Structure 1
Amino acid sequence: MANPNKVKGTAWESAIRDYLNAFLGLVDAHGKFFDPMSGANVRRAAQEGARDVGDIHCAPFVLEAKNTKSPAVPTWLRQAEVEARHAGFPFGVAVRKVRGSAVPMGRVHVSVRTWTRIRLALGMSAAEFAALYGWSVSLRGLDTSRWYLTTTLRDFAHLVGDYRRNVPVAGVTRAVR
């Protein structure tokens, strides 16, 4: 019998992947890729052991999917950023399932540093970026390494689409952006 927590985690990863592929227009109505070889496709990554490369690759992002009762966001973000470096992607984010809610309501968390790098790549002011993608701030004491920003998976999907249309992404051709 499979580990029930592993089964829940795998189901959440697959739900995120499927939602993003559909939102970004990369699959048909049956979930089949229009171009199976495209670097734009959102994919679950193979387990890599000690040099883990994250759960989901959504160029230019590595997503660390979490389906847990108790959040540990700063720890998840450190993990996601390390795994993004291992995978050769510039941004690592954590995506937490919200119990009892649909997939688009999942919470996407980013560190302040990652948020700033994405915002600057898009050429937006902090106020414009926060308003456009619905970011909220979590400040945990005076230790800035524990500060992060959060949005929904739906707003993050809009961000991915906008980023791909406006910033050159390695492996993602302009035609599919």
Structure 2
Amino acid sequence: MANPNKAKGTAWESDVRNYMNDALGLVDEYGKFLDIFSALNVKRPAQEGAADVGDVHAVPFILECKNVKSPAVPTFLRQAEVEARNAGFPYGVAVVKVPRLNVRRGKVHFTVATWTRVRLALGLSSRQAWDRYGFAASLRGLDSGKWYLTTDVEAFTRLVADMREGLRH
């Protein structure tokens, strides 16, 4: 890969995918899928055409993964939501690498609207979702379109598992 920034981004996407597959118990000790046909496997889709479908698919979420020095979270979240719609997924989130920290400490950002829809789908109050998944709020300025909620990749993976458990019932 000639572009070093592209290589860093691809490595981050792969790290997130690999961590989530392992933490969700979808791979064996060698990192091979237990069921290669499962729709629940976390995957990096091939990009096709003009309508981007996100960097990582973790049903029911599209993850827009970013490894950048200066995160523009509201912009990343708008991109994630467009890509979720393009892919036919209900939720889009931005996953941002934290320099020098393990992948599980990466930051997962939700718009307020997505966070609300997710916690309602889980049947949780705001306080329960806040406590269970370790969310923190970023409420900058009066424009609520720039507000977002953040957890880490480890807690987000637990949230994905809980969402999937709810989908099975």
Is the CA contact 1:21–1:41 (under 8 Å) kept in the aligned structure 2? yes
1:94 and 1:111 map into 2 onto residues whose CA distance is 9
- Alignment match, 2:152: 152
Corresponding letter in the other structure for 1:113: A
Report the CA distance between 1:167 and its aligned residue: 2.7
Amino acid paired to 1:103: V
1:142 corresponds to which residue?
Answer: 142
Tell me whether 1:129 sits opposite 2:129 in the alignment: yes
2:154 maps to a residue whose letter is R
Superposed, 1:26-105 pairs within 5 Å as 26-105=26-105
Q: Which residue of 1 aligns with 2:8?
A: 8
Q: Aligned residue for 1:110?
A: 110
Letter in 2 for 1:92: G
TM-score when normalising by structure 2? 0.98
Q: CA deviation at 1:49?
A: 3.8
Taking structure 1 as the reference length, the TM-score comes to: 0.93
Q: Secondary structure at the match of 1:50?
A: coil
How far, CA to CA, are the matches of 1:2 and 1:83 in structure 2? 26
Could you say what the CA RMSD is over the residues aligned between the two structures, in angstroms? 1.0
Residue-pair matches, total: 169
Cα distance in 1 for partners of 2:50, 2:109 equals 23
The alpha carbon displacement at 1:46 in A equals: 1.1
Cα deviation 1:25-61 (Å, max 9, x = unaligned):
0000000000001000000011134200000000000
Q: Secondary structure at the match of 1:165?
A: helix
Large movers: runs of 4+ above 2 Å? none
Unaligned 5+ segments in structure 1 are 169-173
Partner of 2:50, secondary structure, is helix
Task: Name 1:171's counterpart in structure 2.
Answer: none
Q: Deviations over 1:74-114 (max 9, x none)?
A: 00000000000000000000000000000000000000000
Q: Distance in 2 between matches of 1:167 and 1:133?
A: 18
